[in-house]
Structure 1
Amino acid sequence: MDETCWTPLHLSFACSNVHLKAYVDSKTLAEREILSYGSSKNAGLEIVTLACGLVGGDALLSFTPLSVAMFLCQLTSSAIEYQSLRFLEELLGKIPIIHIDDVCDAHIFCIENPSINGRFLCASSSSVSSAEIASYYQQHYPKLQVKPEYLDGPTREMGLGSTKLIEKGFVYKYDTKMILEDCIKCARTRGDTGL
């Protein structure tokens, strides 16, 4: 999977609901449309899109962001966030992840480099399965009770080609462990019960 890959439209997925599917379809259509203006010789626009993975880490918000809640859904037993996490995994094979600080730095990097244009996949070099996230929490936070069904899941491999941004000189600072740890920190700071 790399920047040339697009989410297929109008497919049905086992973990999908009408809202998730509409969100993904509208996001894909909007990105394709805006990129078409950047490729038009007459438009005179330089367009950059960053297709970000699931964003984790701490936040400046007074509440736990939805994307962080998706990372933690196997600890909180939140069915809605777990369905969203599984939908993302089903859609992409594995879950591309990125820390919020890397997202911010990637945006600044693209703004400060006028030679950059086009579409970039913005995700740390690792992608994980929902079962790998659950296994991490079970191993490092045994008191938080991960349900056994969360430890089962697809074991397929996925090649994530987010090297285009790296080739331009961008450096990701956060790995999987750091992202997951900062998600726990974010929820605990905001007083989320059970964590």
Structure 2
Amino acid sequence: MKGSHEKTVCVTGTTGYIGSWLVRSLLQQGYHVHATARDPEKASRMLSTLEGANRLKIFRADLNEDRSFDEAVKGCVGLFHVAASMEFGTSVKENIEDHVRRNILEPAVRGTRNLLQSCVRSGTVKRVVFTSSISTITAKDETGDWKPVVDESCVTPANLVWKTKNSGWVYVLSKLSTEEEAFKFAKENGIDLVSIIPPTVAGPFLTPTVPSSLQVLLSPITGNPKFYPILVSVHSRLGSIALVHVEDICRAHIFLFETSEAAGRYLCSVGSCTIPQIVDLLSSEFPNLISTRFEEEFNRSAPSVISSEQLLDLGYRFKYDVKDVIKESIQSCIRNGLLDN
């Protein structure tokens, strides 16, 4: 799909971190963008001042409403499905699994199907790029040992997620089930679909509040009791924290849309760090901010290599390294008042 500039694409989840920056990136590259959001006024406040906003249209759409996306995808050659349920757990104490299935997973799967049915009805959508999550990936094998290399094939077993119910387990199940449904529906209906697997995304942001992924990454500085356990949970599953700059993950979305040979799943991580290594990087960039009280809990070296070889073999190249991601994340949070310089 090289040369798709000046064509129209649809983006879901445009009031979120990746979705809003993806709209920005697409406009910068000359695309016409149909941005969808449950709250179009919020989307307008965030996106209407972007460079190229004369090529932007905002639509109200809700994954839980049949045909809600019909108008937004009409005339589009591509769809970037970034929107996702952000339920990480549940406060329900009884019949937990049944509650999660009926109230979170089934609506999420139904919403994915609703969206893709709109693509089929449009008759114009040529490719769908589905935003997955590194929560669908594990670095441990079936015996619990670390795999030397972690790639797209290292899928987190859903039955293990149900059994352990670790931090964020509901989100993991939602991502696993919606991606599975997306590929199944695409195959049955002749849709060309690829998925991209973001790790912890960080850097600058357009959202009015600090994205949760940045708050997780910077929790060794802030000591936030809500977000630090999530960082620990990711570290325990992967052996390190895989990172990518928000601009790079958005460029990779567009790259996969434009590259006709792309197929299947693509992990998009520029590199990874253990929590002590993150602390070292934070300390070297901003020594007055850092607290080292977390370091003792972890080994300093990662047991597994988190590989984006498949994406690199396709021709993609990262613009920002791990140090850039850390530095720009802190600078963005200082500018937005999360951190004091």
- Is the pair's TM-score, using the shorter chain for normalization, greater than 0.5? yes
**Contact kept in structure 2, 1:74 and 1:150, CA below 8 Å:** no
Amino acid at match of 1:23: Y
| Residue 274 of structure 2, aligned match among 126, 129, 136 | 129
Q: 1:193 to 1:177 in 2, by over 3 A?
A: closer
Identity of aligned residues (%): 27
* Residues 1:110 and 2:256 are matched in the alignment: yes
**Contact kept in structure 1, 2:273 and 2:302, CA below 8 Å:** no
TM-score, scaled to structure 2: 0.52
Shift of 1:193: 3.8
| Residue 100 of structure 1, aligned match among 218, 222, 246 | 246
Structure 2 gaps of 5+ residues are 1-149
Moved more, 99-108 or 156-165: 156-165
* Residues 1:12 and 2:158 are matched in the alignment: no
CA distance in 2, matches of 1:193, 1:91: 28
**Contact kept in structure 1, 2:197 and 2:265, CA below 8 Å:** yes
| Residue 184 of structure 1, aligned match among 318, 330, 333 | 330
CA distance in 1, matches of 2:290, 2:319: 30
CA distance in 2, matches of 1:82, 1:69: 8
| Residue 140 of structure 1, aligned match among 285, 291, 316 | 285
Shift of 1:151: 5.1
CA distance in 1, matches of 2:169, 2:229: 12
* Residues 1:81 and 2:227 are matched in the alignment: yes
Shift of 1:37: 3.2
**Contact kept in structure 2, 1:134 and 1:151, CA below 8 Å:** no
Q: Where is the helix percentage greater, Structure 1 or Structure 2?
A: 1
CA distance in 1, matches of 2:296, 2:211: 24
CA distance in 1, matches of 2:266, 2:228: 27
CA distance in 2, matches of 1:190, 1:48: 34
TM-score, scaled to structure 1: 0.89
Q: 1:15-52 deviations in whole A, cap 9, x for unaligned? A: x33xx1110111112112212334x3x42111111011
- Larger-gyration structure (1/2): 2
Counterpart of 2:308?
162
Counterpart of 1:174?
320
Amino acid at match of 2:208: S
- Report the count of equivalent residues: 188
Structure 1 gaps of 5+ residues are none
Which protein has greater RCO, CA pairs closer than 8 Å, 6+ apart?
1
SS of corresponding position for 1:127: strand
CA distance in 1, matches of 2:339, 2:331: 13
Question: Which residues of 2 match residues 13-92 of structure 1 at below 5 A?
Answer: 16-17=166-167, 20-38=168-186, 40=187, 42-92=188-238
**Contact kept in structure 2, 1:132 and 1:151, CA below 8 Å:** no
Q: 1:88 to 1:121 in 2, by over 3 A?
A: same
Q: Which 4+ residue blocks in structure 1 deviate beyond 3 angstroms?
A: none
